[in-house]
Amino acid sequence: MVWLLGLSICSVLAASARAEDIVSRAYGDLLRELDSLEGFEAWPLRDEPGHLLRAPHHAPGLAVASHFEGQAPGILSRRDGGRHDSLVAAQADGPLRLATGPDGQGLAVARHRGFGSNAAFPIGPDGFGRLSGRGEGSLAILFDQDHAATGMLIHSDYPDPLGTRPAPRGMVEAIFLARDGRVLGRVITPLTEGITALGFQTASGQPRIAGVVILNTDPGGIAVDDILFARAALMGRAATPGDQAPAPVLAGRRPRASVGAC
């Protein structure tokens, strides 16, 4: 059983890393350096619960589902009764292949009020049909090519005018995998109210990240949007400060300009 006290940090930097292979980067810096952004805009706008995906979501350069073949999914229970997807074993089979959750779980895409656009909702143990299941699941990203850096936006809170939502915020964990299924590193970040912007790169600057799994323990669940990566991924290093790529454009709109400052 897990109970987490609320924490508050600058949204763009992760709080703790369990491996030196992956380091934190400011999302705003990566937004300037990387040239591709996936925001699930190919799906027609539909209010929650949205579209339940029964197969991986595919977009140029990546695909998204719930976890990877060979990983051992589990269920984490909070003291207040909330349930979240977990991984008993994070190492996956190689080469990486996406897997989807049981019927009624996996991934949903819907219009998110906080983002003001489509976002991905990982569906947890309570399932797509219940509000308590939307956002409590795991989300896996499989890149077509190995990358040196990536980032994403996590939304963890809606307005709560009746004061019914538990006050403590949860955590988000990003697990990075190599193409052969090995775990490169795990980074745990306390979630802030609203949008938490996450950015990461390999410590060496070499393109080694083939996949990422996102887990969370937030009482209200999470939604994921604006995944950053490099379309021309076969660069020998991550971009260094001062390098700048054209601002990524997605479905006729540019990313949110306000993200990236503490």
Structure tokens at 150: 């990536």
Q: Is pLDDT at 33 greater than 70 in this prediction?
A: yes
| Burial degree of 168 (CB within 10 A; 0-12, 13-18, 19+) | middle
Instruction: Supply the range of the domain harboring residue 71.
Output: 16-229
- Looking at residue 193, its pLDDT comes to 84
Could you tell me if residue 36 is inside a domain? yes
- My answer on whether omega of the bond before 49 falls inside 30° of 0, hence cis, is yes
Q: Give the number of domains in the chain.
A: 1
Could you tell me if residue 25 is inside a domain? yes
Could you tell me if residue 77 is inside a domain? yes
Structure tokens at 162: 């009746």
Question: Picking from 59-63, 163-167, 185-189, which range would have the lowest pLDDT averaged per residue?
Answer: 163-167
- Looking at residue 133, its pLDDT comes to 86
Which residue in 12, 43, 96, 33 sits closest to 247, CA to CA? Answer: 33
pLDDT digits (tens, 9 = 90+) for 247-259: 454 433 445 544 4
- Looking at residue 93, its pLDDT comes to 98
Could you tell me if residue 262 is inside a domain? no
- Looking at residue 242, its pLDDT comes to 46
| Burial degree of 131 (CB within 10 A; 0-12, 13-18, 19+) | exposed
Structure tokens at 188: 């745990």
Q: Give, for 33, the enclosing helix (H) or strand (E).
A: helix 27-33
DSSP string, 180-220: TS-EEEEEEEEPPSSEEEEEEEETT-S--EEEEEEEE--TT
Could you tell me if residue 4 is inside a domain? no
Looking up residue 211, the CATH number of its domain turns out to be 2.60.120
Q: Residues 232, 35: contact at Cβ < 8 Å?
A: yes
Could you tell me if residue 54 is inside a domain? yes
Q: Is pLDDT at 2 greater than 60 in this prediction?
A: no
Could you tell me if residue 244 is inside a domain? no
Q: Residues 248, 33: contact at Cβ < 8 Å?
A: no
Distances (CA, A) of 149 to 99, 129, 212: 23, 35, 11
Could you tell me if residue 235 is inside a domain? no
pLDDT digits (tens, 9 = 90+) for 48-100: 899 999 999 999 999 999 999 999 999 898 887 788 899 999 999 999 999 99
- Looking at residue 129, its pLDDT comes to 87
Start-to-end CA span in the chain (Å):
33
Structure tokens at 78: 């909070």
Q: Is pLDDT at 5 greater than 70 in this prediction?
A: no
Q: What is the pTM of this model?
A: 0.81
